[in-house]
Amino acid sequence: MLNAALRKVILSAADNAQVRRVVSKHGMRLGGARFVAGETMDECVRVLRELNDRGLYANTTLLGEAVRDEAEARAVADEYIVLVDRLAAEALRANVALKLTHLGLELSEGLAYDNLRRIVERGSFIRIDMEQSAFVEPTLRLYRRLRDDGFDNVGTVLQAYLYRTESDLEGLLPLRPNLRLVKGAYLEPPDVAYPKKTDVDAAYVRLLETMLRAGGYTAIATHDETIVEHAIRFADEHAVPNDTFEFQMLYGVRPQLQLDLAARGYKVLVATPYGPEWYPYLMRRLGERPANALFLLRNLTRR
């Protein structure tokens, strides 16, 4: 209850100019670096290699969201192309996840598609993250368009907190999709998303079981140990092959659980973002666990 209220306060405060100024100035130094693998591609590649060396897979994201103009959106796609080529050249066990608003979705769907397609054409696996509920429809539309155009090296994300997700999943299953299932990280109104965490958790389990049984590829993206253990049990009981699912967690969150699952023989992928525009990403991580925000505040008052 208290956590839900604090989450709302943190996510709402993220838009406040003063909060943005203070966190942008001090956030990384005060503990934000725990969640972000640096501001440059070189720093990020070093972290990805360390994760690989510890038996973990990784994906990375150039942090940033809504762009201002077409040139900026194209420049973001250009950097992604350099990134996917570099991950392949360095033989890292790492792929890329990106946001369509970063590729220009708010400016035009055609622009976002062109940028996305240029990246997907490089041949590496690309996952399209899911953003606020207003973007779900165009995101699924562009995912389907890529699949219709013959690209199989692409996946997307479904959010358990949205009422619409069960029907979205049903519509996608005939494609044998590669889907990451998450609880959902944005502040959504009660007419589109379950307000109660227990309902979100129950929806997650229902969706997870449908996905595992359906025969596509499922990325179980959660740090919720009860759900992780449920997934393992369910996969065993229903003879779901181990190579049709993986666990995904965020860089800096439950690192020991990541290693323990890998040691038990499961594929674990650590989502490891980088880039100078880390502010909204960090604020969502603080919103998920208000204790993280207190940790940053404590470091601020200790200076």
Q: How far is the CB of 267 from ligand FDA (least distance, A)?
A: 13
Q: How far is the CB of 237 from ligand FDA (least distance, A)?
A: 22
Residue ranges with strand state E in the chain: 57-60, 94-98, 126-128, 154-159, 178-182, 217-221, 245-250, 268-271
Backbone φ/ψ region at 40: left (φ over 0), alpha (ψ -120 to 50), beta = beta
| Beta-carbon count within 10 A of 264 CB | 9
The closest alpha carbon to 95, from 77, 78, 119, 111, belongs to 119
The residue from 129, 168, 284, 285 that is catalytic is 129
Name the residue nearer to ligand FDA (CB basis): 230 or 289. 289
Q: Which of residues 112-141 bind ligand FDA (CB under 6 A)?
A: 129-130
The residue from 7, 127, 168, 180 that is catalytic is 180
Are the CB atoms for 193 and 134 separated by under 8 Å?
no
Are the CB atoms for 52 and 93 separated by under 8 Å?
yes
Are the CB atoms for 140 and 168 separated by under 8 Å?
yes
Provide the mask over 183-202, with x wherever binding to ligand FDA is found by CB under 6 A and - wherever it is not.
Answer: xxxx----------------
Q: How far is the CB of 239 from ligand FDA (least distance, A)?
A: 25
**129 assigned to active site:** yes
Q: Which of residues 142-181 bind ligand FDA (CB under 6 A)?
A: 157, 159
| Beta-carbon count within 10 A of 26 CB | 15
Cβ-in-10-Å burial (0-12, 13-18, 19+) of 198 comes to: exposed
**180 assigned to active site:** yes
Q: Is 182 in the site for ligand FDA (CB under 6 A)?
A: yes
Provide the mask over 268-297, with x wherever binding to ligand FDA is found by CB under 6 A and - wherever it is not.
Answer: ---x-------------x--xx--x-----
Catalytically active residues, by annotation:
129, 180
Binding residues for ligand FDA, rule: CB under 6 A, are: 129-130, 157, 159, 182-186, 221-224, 248-250, 253-254, 271, 285, 288-289, 292
